[in-house]
Each structure stands twice: as structure tokens, then as C-alpha cells.
Structure 1
Amino acid sequence: MNQYKLINLKGEGTFSEVWMAESLRTGKLVAIKCMKNVFANEEQVNNLREIQALRRLSPHEHIITLHEILYDKPSGRLVLVFELMDCNLYEHIKGRNKYLNPSKVKFYIFQLLKAIEFMHRNNIFHRDIKPENILLLGDHIKLADFGSCKRINSEHPYTEYISTRWYRAPECLLTDGYYDYKMDLWGVGCVMFEIIGLHPLFPGNNELDQVHKIHNILGTPPKEILDRFKKHATHMEFDFQPQHGTGIDKLLVNSNASPDCIDLIRKLLIYDPDQRINANQAINHEYFRELVEQEQYNLLQSNLKTQKVLKKNSMQSGYDDKQSRVGNENLIEDDRSSKRVYNYNKQSSKKSQSIPPPNKKKVETSFKNSYAHDLSTEEETMKFALPQINKPITYAQTLKKTYDPKKIKTQKRYLKQLSR
């Protein structure tokens, strides 16, 4: 900690407190999370869910970046150094009298869903989605506080009293820890309503009051859903009176929320988790169509720009695509030619092994007397001084009996080599 200078306290929770600090090495501002618990060794530190999750999920544009882990073994104190954000979403809407711009709300939720979709795809769910854990830097959203996260494929039951009560899904409220990653989507629906309406949707005073507030707005679910929850519940009585909820639409009448926006909130706040949409389906909802199209267009432009840069660099280095293809063809042709030469030499070497090596003296003597031509005669006598032949051979005899092109070529090659 002697590398950082604490400036002021940003926030405090059950297990930690967060400070704004300045790095004495770089001069940059950071957020320092001081854990209240004491850790006996480094193994306990490395087994922390938050550290394991951030190591697995980083880097991602919408998930908080962990810069450094500071552990003091003698005292057992642990400090996590994060990037510094401006504020959280709760602070951003606290005390506001005017509604947020609808396009800004859409952008916030779109970024949040992208973080959750990536997290779920990597087999982790957050379990504590609420405005305080959604951080802002300008209009850029980052999800933080992974201290309660869980692996999706881990065994039930999970911790019963997880998540802040106002954002807790019905399956968490009614069962003894039998819930799954869909609880994160319920939390997104609650957050989405809150930043549009500027007040919490289900502000229950206790567990039972929380359930009643959900039923007052959404209505009681079908009996088969309650019976399914009841199989895994021992801490709560299921004697709920059937009732029709007031609906979410009436609560957002004056908020300028579009029909697509309200439809998405309804699908995120479906009572039955099996029927509730997942993060990928939420991202592809009609409500985000313009943002998805814009993102696809930006990706296409980025790819085209990358291709142009690569092509420009290749042309500057004198090696464009066309030259590359021609060069590759030449390399292939050269390779084929070298193989043909190799095979020819290999065959020639085999043949030459069957012919006895020439006697240099005899070859030199016979070479002087070779090619004795007598053009006046009809036979046109032609004498060849060959290593294995000691007497001249007439041209007529060569044609009739003794002419062997392969042998003659081989012999001529020996003669040329020796003449050199």
C-alpha cells in the first residue's frame, strides 16, 4: 500500500470498503477495494470467487478491470486495485426530477446485457445485479462486484439469502437455494424499470413483503409453478391468495417508455425462470434493433479498414496479393522442377552404377583416334572410342546391331566429364 495514496472513501459494504487512491508510480487515479476479512495464506486469496471470476472474464469492455492484487501475509489483509469509474448507476439517478433520455437508457441496458451474456457464456452468473454494482464512466457501463458470483454448472442448493432483496428473483425468495443464472435477468428487469421510472419496482421490507409486492404488480403465478417451488421450500408458507397484478404498463405511463421497452421488461420479469428470456435473446430483442445494426455496421467498417491497412502495408513492402499468388505459383513450379531434376539424377545414378568406371588412360588414347571419317566410302565409317569397346564400330553395324542410345548417351557423358 506504500505505492498508493488514499484520497477519499467511495463506498462501504458488508465485506469491503472502496477508496479512491492515487498511484505514486504513475500518478493515475484508481479504486482500491479493501477487504474486511483476514486471509491466512495466498491459497485462500486465489480461491476467492471475485478474483477467479475476474481472471476468467477479463478483459471485456463492459466488465471492471482488476489491475493488481495486494496481499500482506503477516497481517492477512487483502487489497484489490481496480480501474476508477465516475459513479454507479444508483448515484447517477439518485435525486433526479427528470427522466433520463430514452436512448441513453437503451444504451445503458444494452451494455449491461452484453456483460451478462459474456459472463453466462463463460459459465458464471453474478447473483447480485443492482444499480450499485453497475458502474459508469461517462456513458460507458461496466459490471462490478463479483464477490457473490457462482458457476452455472455447480450443484444445488445455493446460498438462500443472496442478492439485495429488492432485486431478488421469485425462485430465490421462495426456494431453499434452487435457482439458476436466470436470476440475473430478473435483476436486469428491475434495474431497467428503476432507471426509467426513477424508483425501485419491488421495495419489500422483508422476504414475505417482497413476494407480496411482486404479486401485486405481476399477479400470482399458476399453481403448477408454485407447486414446483414448494418442493424445494421449507422457510415460507405458500398460502398466497390468487390475484391479478396491476401490470408494469401503468407504472410507466408518464416515462416515455416505448412499447418495445415495456415488452422487454415484461419478458425479463417473467415469474417462471424457465419461461424468462436469456441474455442473448434480450440483446436481440426488437428494442435494441438499431444498436445491433449499428454495432454490425461498425464491425464491418473496422474489418474493411483493417484489410485496407494490411493491403497498404503489403504494397509498401512490394508484396501485394497478385504478386503473392504469382510468387506462390513460381515456387510451386520450381518445386516441381527440382523434383523432376532430383528424380532424373536419381535414375541416372542407378544406371551409372551398372556401368564400370572408365579407365582414364584408355579413354584419352582412344579419344585421339576417334571420329575417323572417310566420306568417299559408301559406309561412311564412324569410329567411337568407348571404354568397354576396343575396336572401331562402323556406322552400318551401329544401326543394325550394336546401337544402343541409352548406353551411348551415358558414355558420351563420361567422355565430356573427363574432357573437362
Structure 2
Amino acid sequence: MVRVDDYLPMMFDKHPNKKEWQSMGCVQSKIPDIKGEGYHLRVKKTVAVGGSAKIMEVDPGGGKETMIVKKMVAFSKREKERILQEIDLYKKLESNKFVIDLEAHIVEDINHYLLFKRYSINFLDYLETLKTRTTVDELKHLKYFSGIVLAIEELHSFEYAHLDIKPANILKSGDEIRMIDFGSATKMPIEIKTSADHHKHKEDAEELCSIMYRAPELFNCEIGATLTTKVDAWALGVCLYEFMFLENPFNKIYEQGGSIALATQSPHMIKWIEERSVSQKTINLIKSILIVDPEQRPTITEIREKVENLLENWNKPENSGDVLEVSEPVVPEREITDEEFDLAMRQA
């Protein structure tokens, strides 16, 4: 499955789990011009190539800024349906100011070209630039997060889950942020009734959803379970952690070769990095989202309300009674040591 995050805006996902895309650097392109929908696009260079898409920087002419084209080829009916669904979702969300605008869809036989504005950086790379600092602008990052929540809330209103929410799928230019890559979006809910359902949807999750942001239920897809849009809520919780602590909460597990699937079953083991000086009220918000049981996990609307409440009461003291309460899981008062954390993960 192709994803916009790896090529818009010529910024590549540095995440260790994204291996399907290969950066093409500044390879000059000899690809013919792309024409249609009132555009005559001269291909400047190919910037990335994936299993079923090619990403190109194009010149629209007229002295305008360069843009990005995502080329996909519909070899099968299923691939064509996926492409058309992605385009349809962009149209449904075109009035949402936190979703990237699809400028044009150009079709040449079985070739589909999606044209987008070129942004200066994606949020993953932006967070990378902050790692030398001891603190982040917590309020600003919470406002960024609230924008992404609003984008996903509207997507959920159409009964689709994004399935691949992560910082690399958020573009940034100044204080403007945009959610991208709806190629993984899937209609919800999904009932897992048979063994065939189990295998199919487990494979789909592995294909469509990056492992570090994958909800616990997507690792199992157990027979009798129902997958809902709450899989996105989990990913948002992981993203909010990254927005504040500048790293994925499961990075250490991954780097040590541990099981991410098992780690998601124990969010109470997540380390809260003291050096980042993140407020307890924001930590409580993250904890209130990272709930293993999807039935207890908040909906996107509940998350929006939690964020709005936190923003509205931001300048009030943390002990004023306005701090968000956390019902699940119960987190030990004592901060666990690195040795205890490593031992627990090895035992898991």
C-alpha cells in the first residue's frame, strides 16, 4: 500500500519500520509531461519509488511553485477501488482546513496521478529538529494535535478509520498543519467472525498500519472481536506522546528487538521522560487515550472534548480540579527504573 507520507513534501519517513519506499535523491527524470484537468506538469525528478507508486516533483509552469504528484497504477479492480476511495475521501474532507487539498486527479488509461501542494516539512522531521532542546512548546504542540483530532473526527463521521496516523503523515508549513495519506483508510466497523476474517484483517493491518502506531486489537484481530474507528484513537495517543516527548513510546522496545504487540498490552510501562518537563495534565491526557481495551478507549469526539477542556483550562493551576482524570489503566505512583522496564519487557 502506498502512502503519501513518504514523499510529501520530499521528506522521507525515517521510521525504522518503513522500508517499502526508496529515496531517489535528485535523480533527473525523463518521464513525459503529465497533462490533464487544466494542468501541464513537467516532471523535474523522481523523489521516491514504492511497490505500487512513484512520487515526483513537478513544475506546473507559469512561475508557480513546484508541486508533488503521486502516480499509482490500477492493475486490478481492487487497486482501482482503493485509488478511487482515497480520492473520494479527499473530496469529502475538502472543507477541512487540517486535511491536505487534492489539487487534481489526472487519469491516463490505468495511470492515476494525484496532485498536491508541496509542503516544507513533515511533522516527524520537525520533531527531529527539536531533539537538542530540553523542552517543547507544550501548548503549541497541543494545538497542533487538536487540529489533527478535528481532521480525524470528520473522517470518522463517514465511518472510515485512517489506519496510519503518525507524525510522518502530518505536513507542516509555518504554523499550518495538514493530515495526509488516506490510502490506508478502511470502512468501519469490521466484525471478525471466522478464521478467514482473522487472517485477512490481520494481514491488512500489517500492510496498512505502521507497527509503532498499531492498536493492540490490530495485532490479534481475534475471532468474535469488532474493529472500530477507535484504532485511530490509539494512534493519536502515541502521536501525542511523540509531540511532547519527541520520540515514540515504544522506540526502546523496538531497538532492543522486543515485541511491540506485547508492549501495547502494557501502556502503564511507558516511560515519562522527566527531562522534557511535560505537565502532568498532558501526561494524564495521553494516559486517558492509551487504553488497551477498545471499549474503554475514548472515541474521537471524546478525545476532542478532552483536548478542548485542557486548552480552555490551560492557565489554571494543575491542582485546581480541572486536570483530566484517568480511569484506565491505574499507573503506579513510583516511576519505574530503566532496569525494571527492561526486565518487564524481556519477561513479556
TM-score of the alignment, normalized to the shorter chain, above 0.5: yes
Report the counterpart of residue 288 of structure 1 in structure 2: 311
Unmatched runs of 5 consecutive residues or more in structure 2 = 1-33, 315-348
Alignment-mate amino acid for residue 185 of structure 1? A
Of 181, 189, 205, 1:145 maps to 181
Counterpart of 1:19 in 2: which secondary structure? Answer: strand
Of 247, 254, 264, 1:214 maps to 264
Given that 2:74 and 2:80 are in contact with CA atoms closer than 8 Å, whether structure 1 keeps it comes out as: no
Given that 2:188 and 2:227 are in contact with CA atoms closer than 8 Å, whether structure 1 keeps it comes out as: no
CA offsets, 1:175-227, max 9 Å, x none? 25842110111111111111221221123559971123334x52xxxxxxxxx
Alignment partners' CA distance in 2, 1:93 and 1:10:
22
CA offsets, 1:341-386, max 9 Å, x none? xxxxxxxxxxxxxxxxxxxxxxxxxxxxxxxxxxxxxxxxxxxxxx
2:132 matched to 1:97?
yes
Alignment partners' CA distance in 1, 2:162 and 2:41:
29
2:64 matched to 1:27?
yes
Deviation, 1:146, is 0.5
Counterpart of 1:111 in 2: which secondary structure? Answer: helix
Q: Greater CA deviation, 158-167 or 58-67?
A: 158-167
CA offsets, 1:293-331, max 9 Å, x none? xxxxxxxxxxxxxxxxxxxxxxxxxxxxxxxxxxxxxxx
Report the counterpart of residue 353 of structure 1 in structure 2: none
Q: With CA pairs under 8 Å and 6+ residues apart, which has the higher RCO, 1 or 2?
A: 2
CA offsets, 1:209-255, max 9 Å, x none? 1123334x52xxxxxxxxxxxxxxxxxxxxxxxxxx43x4x423221
Give the TM-score of the pair, scaled to structure 2: 0.66
Alignment partners' CA distance in 2, 1:45 and 1:72:
16
Aligned in 2, Cα 1:53/1:138: closer, same or farther, shift over 3 Å? same
Given that 2:190 and 2:228 are in contact with CA atoms closer than 8 Å, whether structure 1 keeps it comes out as: no
Counterpart of 2:68 in 1: which secondary structure? Answer: strand
Alignment partners' CA distance in 2, 1:52 and 1:91:
29
Give the TM-score of the pair, scaled to structure 1: 0.56
Deviation, 1:40, is 6.6
CA RMSD of aligned residues (A): 2.9
Counterpart of 2:264 in 1: which secondary structure? Answer: helix
Report the counterpart of residue 192 of structure 1 in structure 2: 240
Alignment-mate amino acid for residue 210 of structure 2? T
Given that 1:102 and 1:256 are in contact with CA atoms closer than 8 Å, whether structure 2 keeps it comes out as: no
Q: Greater CA deviation, 110-119 or 176-185?
A: 176-185
2:272 matched to 1:251?
yes
CA offsets, 1:7-47, max 9 Å, x none? 45555544334333221257243221122x34479x93686
Aligned in 2, Cα 1:187/1:53: closer, same or farther, shift over 3 Å? same
Aligned in 2, Cα 1:154/1:211: closer, same or farther, shift over 3 Å? closer
Deviation, 1:109, is 0.6
Alignment partners' CA distance in 1, 2:209 and 2:176:
24
Deviation, 1:275, is 0.7
Alignment-mate amino acid for residue 150 of structure 2? K
2:120 matched to 1:86?
yes
Aligned residue runs from structure 1 range 14-413, under 5 A: 14-25=51-62, 27-35=64-72, 37-39=73-75, 44=80, 48-73=84-109, 76-95=110-129, 96-98=131-133, 99-153=135-189, 156=192, 157=197, 158=201, 159-161=204-206, 162-176=208-222, 178-203=226-251, 205=254, 209-215=259-265, 217-218=266-267, 245-246=268-269, 248=270, 250-285=271-306, 286-289=309-312
Alignment partners' CA distance in 2, 1:148 and 1:256:
35
CA offsets, 1:258-299, max 9 Å, x none? 1221111011110011111112211221322269xxxxxxxx
Report the counterpart of residue 351 of structure 1 in structure 2: none
Q: Percent of aligned positions with the same letter in both sequences? A: 23
Unmatched runs of 5 consecutive residues or more in structure 1 = 219-244, 292-420
Aligned in 2, Cα 1:194/1:10: closer, same or farther, shift over 3 Å? farther
Counterpart of 1:284 in 2: which secondary structure? Answer: helix
